[in-house]
Homo-oligomer: A and B are copies of this chain.
Amino acid sequence: MNTNKNFILKGEIAFSLNEKEIQTYHEGYVVCKEGICLGAFPDLPEEYKYFPLIDCGNHLIIPGMTDLHVHAPQYTYRGIGMDLELLEWLNQHTFPEEAKYADTAYASKAYSYFAEDLRRCFTTRAVIFATLHNQSTINLMDQLEATGMITYVGRVNMDRNGGEKLQEESAEVSLQGTREWLDTIQGKYKNTFPIITPRFIPSCTDALMQGLGKLSEERNLRIQSHLSENKAEIAWVKDLVPSSSCYANAYEMFHTLGDNNRPAIMAHCVYSDEKEIAILKKHGTFVAHCPESNMNLSSGIAPVRKFLEDGLQVGLGTDVAAGSSMNLIKTMLCTLQASKMYYRLVDTNVKALTFEEVFYLATRGGGKYFGNVGTFQNGFEFDAVVIDDSKMHSMRNMSIRERLERMVYNDSDCIIMDKYVKGKQIYYHE
């Protein structure tokens, strides 16, 4: 265990310079000083020669990854009911399971599996949905804080269409519960932040949406939700908010899209068209691209190339449990595969995303939501993952770039050796 505040990792280093370029250093150095990265170097600069050096040998050293969209209470039933589409899956699997989180003891046990597995994966930052239960949500936040991860956690709001067991009595009850949750955790955590979380328009009446928009402004809190994931969902939203010009406009009408200083996260955006893209851009919204989920639930494929060309903020989300794993490496692979299928089956004028672009999305793209996070440039917060990929035999010396790509295409054959969040080691392989 490395407990130094200032230190150097030496090894096979890779990080994004921008969306198109990955910088690599063979036997390179990345320097951490009090949680901040002072840069990565092919040769160690003179001024850091007295920092303790941890030699990671032939291991890969990459920036930590950001999961912009994951549902903690869905973790323990991931990979079930995947022959269904979104609305059926929510009613048959998700809502009955989330209702159980009224029982804090149940939640505490289930969340312990989630928190521990999150600590062990490539993710260093995450933005998380809990349930509509205050005590269970606080229990989750306590457990996340203990891991050393840096996260946003949302106590979910739902006052319609959740069935008997997963629905609050009224908009006011839901808002009051949210205020109580926020008051209870005020000042409690260093690394675990609250985020306002209307599940999606079908779960929240106009009154609740308006109240949440107002609450987020009053308390200067960010918002997360779901947008344009599934065709039946989109049609439903149009019925529920007939005055909206599109799904994104419905969120906009309720002042729940925030702005560049308080950006919202909208998960999916599979069917976001020009009009919707313009709205998201205006508000500085982050798109959480969740391709595994979108394939598993037959939702479709989001036009990520278009989002990037239009200057939207985009990161990746595992979307457990519609995504089956918290492994962002797997999400990277699905991002590549989905993008290739979009090119092949939808529009051959839209080039597939490159490996470089997808590596950027997983690290720096989502990391931006947390500020200077997601790469090894000078001044960034020091999030890093050290990886042993030696289980994959090769017949020649591979470049670092080749090893990175091989790792993504063979997610299960790599071992995470160490993980750092803001300079603190929060995991090591035993």
Contact = CB atoms under 8 A, between A and B. Distances in A.
B327 A412 contact: yes
Contacts of A325: 409-410, 412-413
Contacts of A342: 345
Interface string A58-91: 0000000000000000001111111100000000
A394 B77 contact: yes
Contacts of A343: 298
A337 interface: yes
B83 A355 contact: yes
A130 to B, nearest CB: 15
Most buried by B among A295, A411, A413: A295
Contacts of A324: 406, 409-410
Interface string A284-327: 00000000100111111100000000000000000000001101
Contacts of A412: 325, 327, 411-412
B110 A395 contact: yes
B78 A393 contact: no
A78 B78 CA distance: 28
Contacts of A344: 298-300
A354 B238 CA distance: 31
For the complex formed by this chain, how many copies does it contain in all?
2
Contacts of A409: 78-79, 82, 296, 324-325
Say which size band chain A's interface belongs to.
35 or more
Interface of A is mostly: helix
B79 A408 contact: yes
A290 to B, nearest CB: 13
B79 A406 contact: yes
Contacts of A292: 337
A51 interface: no
B405 A79 contact: yes
Interface in A324-382: 324-325, 327, 334, 336-338, 340-346, 352, 354-355
Contacts of A406: 78-80, 324
Nearest to A300: B344
A405 B295 contact: no
A426 to B, nearest CB: 20
Contacts of A341: 295, 298, 301, 338, 341, 345
A110 to B, nearest CB: 5
A368 to B, nearest CB: 24
16 contacts: A78-B406, A79-B409, A80-B402, A80-B405, A82-B405, A82-B409, A83-B355, A113-B393, A298-B352, A299-B344, A300-B344, A300-B345, A324-B406, A325-B409, A341-B345, A345-B345
Given A100-B395, A109-B395, 7 more contacts: A76-B395, A83-B355, A295-B337, A296-B340, A297-B340, A324-B410, A325-B413
